[in-house]
Amino acid sequence: MTVGARRMLPILASGRLVRLHQALDAVRASCDVGARRRLDPVAFVHRYRAPLDQELAGLLASSCAFGNVTTIRAKLDDVGVRLGSELSAIAEDRDALCDAMSGFRHRLYVGEDLALLVYGARIVQRRFGSLGDAFASFLSGGSTLHDALIAFVDEVRDASGLVMTGERRGPAHLLPDPRGGSASKRLLLYLRWMVRPADGIDLGLWPVSPARLVIPVDVHVHKLATNLGLTQARTPSWRVAEDITDVFRRFDPEDPVKYDFALCHLGMAGSCSSRFVREVCESCAIRNVCRHGDGSGRRSSTAQRVRAKVPAGHDDG
């Protein structure tokens, strides 16, 4: 499936892109991975050792990864206590899962939602050998990442029995349908964890090239991308995520999404107002490439200086 008829790509070679590349590499190099991991929902995945458990844990953790991060971590702690250390074992038993998750709530979700998610995912594991093998199968034969994600969500949802229509929004929100063109941030975050090479954060579990990934864009990454001139769109979407990834792909075609974690944990993240605030901006690691960083507000965006148009879906490889 193609999202959007045509895509606009920023200029490849420019001094601004070179500075942007240097700034992002510096942000990555200065990131305290261990300390940041402990604060991130991905820490839940690292509690497990067996790959089948890790990919189930990743699906659970990424599905819950919205809202206040302290609350997310507390809720995942609770899930971990309820489900024990062998997720793939308890996931065989639908009744045991539902009993263990009884009384749990997180935002739109009740315990049964997460129980059914894990139960369905375990069925897919048995069908394909692993969730990673399932996803790799959906991605083969010229499919785009978007195609594969749709097939993956459909497969898990069908196996789980999670019903999208009903009085509660939880089941639909838990496994969102990428067809609508939303940014699918939590699903792309899950892919990043499973596919990117093991680096203390991501786990490199799945037989999928990191070159295929698209960056997970939440409001925070969208804000930074806007400040860096990577997008002019007002809201995150799949297309915006692809456009940002296209820029990062110029810095590392084999691993464009490697900048995501560092950007997410950039020190000034919570205090950035997307305008020049001296006390905040003067210590910002991306100040020299931010549109607001010098206080003039006059810097043109990379996206404004579009030179080429290419068909959508070019990110297949």
In degrees, rounded to 5, the angle at the alpha carbon of residue 191 between the alpha carbons of residues 301 and 27 is 45
Distance of closest approach, residue 237 Cβ to ligand SF4, in angstroms: 21
Give the Cα separation of 183 and 186 in Å (integer): 9
Sign of the CA dihedral with 279 first, then 282, 287, and 288 last: positive
Q: Does 292 bind ligand SF4 (CB under 6 A)?
A: yes
The stretches of 42-200 forming alpha helices (DSSP H) are: 42-45, 51-63, 69-83, 87-90, 94-101, 111-128, 131-139, 145-160, 170-174, 185-195
Residues 225-254 that bind ligand SF4 (CB under 6 A): 227
Phi, psi of 227 (to 5 degrees): -65, -30
Q: Does 272 bind ligand SF4 (CB under 6 A)?
A: yes
Q: Which of 16, 127, 179, 287 binds ligand SF4 (CB under 6 A)?
A: 287
* Closer residue to ligand SF4, CB minimum distance, 158 or 294: 294
Which stretch of DSSP H or E encloses residue 6? Answer: strand 6-10
By CB under 6 A, which span of 137-145, 166-174, 194-202, 278-286 interacts with ligand SF4? 278-286
Q: Which of 249, 286, 303, 315 binds ligand SF4 (CB under 6 A)?
A: 286
Minimal CA–CA distance to 208: which of 220, 222, 197, 221? 197
Q: Which of 114, 284, 303, 315 binds ligand SF4 (CB under 6 A)?
A: 284
Residues 168-227 that bind ligand SF4 (CB under 6 A): 224, 227
Distance of closest approach, residue 200 Cβ to ligand SF4, in angstroms: 25
Residues near ligand SF4, by CB under 6 A: 224, 227, 268, 272, 274, 280-281, 284, 286-287, 290, 292-293
